[in-house]
Amino acid sequence: MGEHSDKTTSRRPRADAVRNHERVLEAAKAVFSAGGPDASLEAVARRAGVGIGTLYRHFPTREALFEAVYRREVEQLAELAEELKAEASPTEALRRWLRANVEFVATKKGMSAALALAVNSASELTAYSFERLTKAVGALLDRAVAAGEIRADISPEDLLRALVGMCYLHDQPGWQASVLRLLDVFVDGLALQSDARHVPGAGRPKAKASRSPKYARAT
C-alpha cells in the first residue's frame, strides 16, 4: 500500500510546482502586457518570485512560454464570455468582453517584441484562438441582437477584425487607452436607436467558414 501511495504521489505535480507554474504565467502576462525595454524573461522570473532556472524548468523555450500564456489568455476570454451572459445588458456584456481583449492583444504584442517571436498566421495556435474567440464573441453578439440592442448585419469576424485593427494601428506608449476609447465609440455606433429596435429580420449573418488572412496575421 505504501509503495502504491509513493507511486501515485510521484505521478502528481507537487503543489509548489503547480503554484510556481501559475505564478510564472500571471507574471508573464503582467510583464509583457506592460511592454517596454524591461519586458524580459528575467523580469518575469523576478515578478513571479522564482529563479530563472525554475522558469526554464517549466518553460524550456521562449516559444513554450509564449504558447502557454497565449492559450491561457484565450481560455480566460472564453470563460469571461460565459460569465457575461448573465450581464443584465447584452450590449454592456459585449463591450466588456471586447475591452478585455485589448489586454490580451497587449500581452501578445509585448511577448512578440520581447521574445523576438513571430507567430505563423497558419499555425495551430492561431487557428485555435480564432475558433475559440469567434465562438465566444458570437454568443454575446447573438444575445445583443436578439435583445434588439445591436444591429443584425454584423458578424463575429467583423468585430474581431475591427478590434485587432484598432490594436495594431497604435504602437505608442499608452495605446491601450486610445483603443478603449475607440472601442466605446465603435460599440455605441452598433447600437440601435430605440425606434429602430425589434424590427423583424433574419438576424446577424452566419460566420463564414474560412478565416480572414488579415485577422489571422494579427491574432
Mean pLDDT of 201-215: 44
pTM: 0.77
Residue finishing a domain among 60, 83, 109: 60
Average pLDDT of the chain?
Answer: 83
pLDDT, tens digit (0-9, with 9 covering 90-100), for 155-183: 999 999 999 999 988 778 789 999 999 99
Q: How confident is the model at residue 116 (pLDDT cuts 50, 70, 90)?
A: confident
Q: Give the pLDDT confidence score for residue 190 in this predicted structure.
A: 95
**Could you tell me the residue range of the domain that residue 84 belongs to?**
69-218
pLDDT score recorded for residue 113: 85
Question: What number of residues does the chain have?
Answer: 219
Q: Say which residue the cell 524573461 belongs to.
A: 41
Same domain, 84 and 16: no
Rounded to an integer, the average pLDDT of 183-209 is 65
Same domain, yes or no: 112 and 165: yes
Angle between helices 90-114 and 124-146 (to 10 degrees): 160
Residues 54 and 79 in one domain: no
DSSP-derived 3-state class of residue 159: helix
**Count of CB atoms within 10 A of residue 208's CB?**
11
Q: Find the CATH number of the domain harbouring 52.
A: 1.10.10
Where a domain ends, among 16, 39, 60?
60
Cell, residue 162: 475591427
pLDDT tens profile 17-67: 889 999 999 999 999 988 877 888 999 999 999 999 999 999 999 889 999
For residue 201, the model assigns a pLDDT of 43
pLDDT at 70 over 90: yes
pLDDT at 169: 84
Structure confidence at residue 214 as a pLDDT band (50, 70, 90) = very low
CATH number, position 144: 1.10.357.10
- Counting the structural domains of the chain, the total is 2
**Cα torsion at 120, 125, 130, 135 (round to 10°)?**
170
Q: Please check whether residues 74 and 45 belong to one and the same domain.
A: no
